[in-house]
Chains A and B, each alone.
Chain A
Amino acid sequence: MHATIQKPIDEILEYLKPDERVFVVGCGNCAAKCHSGGEPETEEMAERLKQKGVKVAGWACTASGMSLCKLALVQKMLNEEHKSETEQADSFLILACGQGIHTVMDATDGGMVHPGCDTIFGGETVNDNYITEYCSLCGECIVEYTGGLCPVTLCAKSLLNGPCGGAKDGKCEVDRTRDCGWQLIYDRLKALGRLGELDEYKMPKSNSRWSRPRSLTIGEGEATFRSLSGERKVASHA
């Protein structure tokens, strides 16, 4: 899930030119879970903008559980279901993550977009009120050796070969209320009886796999991941 938080209304108002007619778009999946751009928040944003004197062409949100970052879905929603309103719009205000923003651009043939949210991280929805980050999308998963816990994400310094000397009482030097990622890894490996995993030297990360932008093409029998490390083809069951 891509966690997002809504930008302050004053910041959004600064983006809009006088007389600009805006169409508000929300996401029924991640942004809905974050209450930053689900159906109620999208409708509410349209109302708030109207109250501030902004011309609102309309609003739309993908169905509950459906992601805004799926192009075909957004094309149908904006170009068919809401065609009469979007034709009147000068721009789109997107209450979703950065992927959703670009999907709206693609769906509207390069329409003018404004971000209504800040995309803050990709995380696990632990419960309805708590989302937290366990993966940095680095392109090279190493959690086999760390009991499933990612040091790139959980260690403030992304250290791969064990803790620095900065932890105190199991808490990280950057924030004494935050667990030291390596303390978590150590505790977990110890509980699993796999502390031996820590003995082995871990090579520096391949940053080229972490280069941006990256893409994945899913073909019949084969998927291709493209990054600065080159093309990586893997078997696909598509």
Chain B
Amino acid sequence: MSKLKQALESGQFVVTGEIGPPKGVSLDKCLHDAEMLRNHVTAINVTDLQSAVLRIGSLAASTKLIERGLEPVFQLTCRDRNRLALQSDLLSAWAMGIENVLCLTGDHPILGDHTEAKPVYDLDSVQLLKAASTLIQGHDMAGHELEGAPSFFLGAVVTPAAEPVEPQVIKMKKKIEAGASFFQTQAVYEPDKFESFMNQVQGFNVPVIAGIVVLKSAAMAKFMNSSVAGISVPESMIREMEETNKEDRKKKAVEISARVIRQVKPFCQGVHIMPLGWDELVPEIIKEAELSQETRIQREA
């Protein structure tokens, strides 16, 4: 049974991490990143052609994690597959031992490195969740019976800092009705805003895992503020980063991430740490955020 599901259902505060499969067939770096997370996180998200850039698929990389005794969260986007391929990949995923699936819309191809690719979006993320739920019930979308049904732990994403946030909340509710049992969020840097979002969705009664993107520099923060949807890094945090010497930036990154985690912890059920290559910092972040106890319990579970 999915450890992520067990941990969330038993009310533990969970920590998840993330790896991005490479462009090319050399998985060494990506699996090394995953190893850095071993014993520190409950599950590791594996991105699906993140930013619409061609890479090894999430299904293959997730399988590699399972071979190593690590638990993946298989990310599945609607961008590149029609409903036949989506359902087939879900069945394949279960056959490979994958239990956690995060259903996403997917960045548009125009943002990636194959800008002339045909965007598929035959289903949207809510419909994908519904399709996966239908498979769990033993049928495909066309109503045909399956020879053996999967038993996924389905997740979805939400953007708490979206402006306006109401359409996100409405869609979140639809995702839950379609089968989402947990949520991972876009990066959170403003605990106050996150708290107010969590108050709005409290009645949904579904675990929310707050996204923590490790801030590497002031330039990165400024770039995200101007270009990345649903992310807003406060000026004070940018200044903090600017006033830090280059050699102390990793230390600062740990400090900021841990501080945000401590601040959001009372309002959510876990954190999803996206270290963007600074994977070696994750253990320190967990330690400084005073989460070592939680991750130890889950490890021993």
A interface residues (Cβ-Cβ under 8 A, vs B): 156-169, 173-175, 182-183, 186, 195, 198-199, 201-205, 207
- Return the contact of A161 from the options B110, B127, B159, B162 (Cβ within 8 A): B127
Cβ–Cβ contact B178 & A201, under 8 A: yes
Total CB contacts across the A-B interface at under 8 A: 91
The distance in angstroms between the C-alpha atoms of A59 and B155, with both chains bound, is 62
Contacts of A205 in B (CB 8 A): 122
Contacts of B227 in A (CB 8 A): 168
Query: Known: A157-B119, A173-B108, A201-B130. Is A186-B166 also a contact (CB below 8 A)?
Result: yes
Cβ–Cβ contact A201 & B177, under 8 A: yes
| Residues 96-116 of B contacting A (Cβ, < 8 Å) | 105, 107-108, 110-111
SS class, residues of chain A in contact with chain B: loop
- Min Cβ gap A181→B in Å is 11
Cβ-closest chain A residue relative to B157: A165
The distance in angstroms between the C-alpha atoms of A174 and B52, with both chains bound, is 12
Cβ–Cβ contact B171 & A162, under 8 A: yes
Contacts of A201 in B (CB 8 A): 126, 130, 174, 177-178
Contacts of B143 in A (CB 8 A): none
User: Which of A158, A167, A183 gathers most chain B CB within 10 Å?
Assistant: A167
Mask, B161-188, CB within 8 Å of A = 1, is 0111011101101100110000000100
The distance in angstroms between the C-alpha atoms of A205 and B173, with both chains bound, is 21
Cβ-closest chain A residue relative to B110: A174
- Min Cβ gap A167→B in Å is 6
Interface residues on B, range: 35 or more
Cβ–Cβ contact B163 & A169, under 8 A: yes
The distance in angstroms between the C-alpha atoms of A166 and B104, with both chains bound, is 12
Cβ–Cβ contact A161 & B121, under 8 A: no
Cβ–Cβ contact A204 & B168, under 8 A: no
Q: Does B195 contact A (CB under 8 A)?
A: no
Contacts of A195 in B (CB 8 A): 166, 170
Question: When A and B form their complex, which 6 residue pairs have the shortest distance between CB atoms, in order from nearest?
Answer: A162-B171, A161-B126, A165-B159, A164-B105, A168-B229, A159-B124
Cβ–Cβ contact B119 & A204, under 8 A: no
Q: Does B123 contact A (CB under 8 A)?
A: yes
Cβ–Cβ contact B164 & A186, under 8 A: yes
- Min Cβ gap B52→A in Å is 10
Cβ–Cβ contact A157 & B111, under 8 A: no
User: Which of A159, A164, A174, A186 gathers most chain B CB within 10 Å?
Assistant: A164
30 A-B pairs, CB-CB below 8 angstroms? A157-B79, A157-B121, A159-B105, A159-B121, A160-B124, A161-B125, A161-B126, A161-B171, A162-B126, A162-B170, A162-B174, A163-B167, A164-B105, A165-B158, A165-B229, A165-B230, A167-B229, A168-B230, A169-B163, A173-B108, A173-B229, A174-B108, A175-B110, A183-B167, A195-B166, A201-B130, A204-B123, A204-B124, A204-B141, A207-B122
- Min Cβ gap A82→B in Å is 41
Known pairs A166-B105, A166-B107; list 8 more (Cβ under 8 Å). Answer: A159-B124, A160-B127, A161-B127, A165-B157, A168-B228, A168-B229, A175-B110, A186-B166
